[in-house]
């Protein structure tokens, strides 16, 4: 497994997600202060390019530099506020999620095997009776 590549890909996804969150925050702020610009940014952000934060920002730079710079500032602030908590939150979240999934799987397996094991027990008992004869 290429841990370096996984780390790089994860960081890129996180950067894009923080860009998305910054755009949401700026749109919310603009709806209060400049609704027309907020609507424009919301429509601009509704395209698929928001999935890739870097492509989104490049496109926004061409359309409205001031908004792009605002998003860069908000994204950086979000990163400063959030990133230090992420490692522990991610580890804990994955552990809790895994426990939940394993519990559900075990419950399904036990529910499925209970009726089957009862009928299988009868088959084994019949086989044992035949061998005794």
Q: Which tokens go with 8?
A: 């790089």
User: pLDDT by residue (tens digit) across 69-92?
Assistant: 999 999 999 999 998 888 899 999
Q: Residue 15 corresponds to which tokens in the numbers above?
A: 């950067």
Task: Report, as an integer, the average pLDDT of 26-30.
Answer: 97
Q: What does the pLDDT read at residue 49?
A: 82
Going by pLDDT thresholds of 50, 70 and 90, the confidence category of residue 55 is very high
∠ at Cα 21 (100, 76), nearest 5°? 115
Q: Per residue in 104-115, pLDDT tens?
A: 999 998 887 665
Which residues are within 8 A (CB) of 37 and not within 5 positions of it... i.e. 6 or more apart?
Answer: 30, 67
pLDDT category, 120, cuts 50, 70, 90? Answer: low
Q: What is the pTM for the complete model shown? A: 0.73
Mean pLDDT of 57-64: 96
């Amino acid at each position: 497994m290429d841990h370096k590549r996984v780390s790089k890909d994860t960081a890129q996804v996180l950067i894009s997600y923080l860009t998305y969150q910054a755009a949401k925050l700026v749109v919310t702020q603009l709806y209060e202060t400049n609704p027309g610009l907020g609507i424009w940014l919301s429509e601009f952000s509704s395209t698929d390019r928001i999935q890739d934060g870097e492509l989104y920002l490049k496109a926004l730079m061409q359309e409205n530099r001031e908004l792009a710079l605002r998003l860069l500032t908000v994204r950086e602030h979000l990163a400063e506020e959030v990133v230090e908590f992420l490692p522990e939150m991610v580890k804990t979240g994955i552990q809790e999620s895994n426990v939940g999934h394993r519990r559900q799987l075990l419950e399904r397996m036990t529910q499925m095997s209970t009726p089957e094991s009862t009928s299988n027990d009868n088959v084994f008992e019949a086989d044992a009776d035949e061998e005794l004869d």
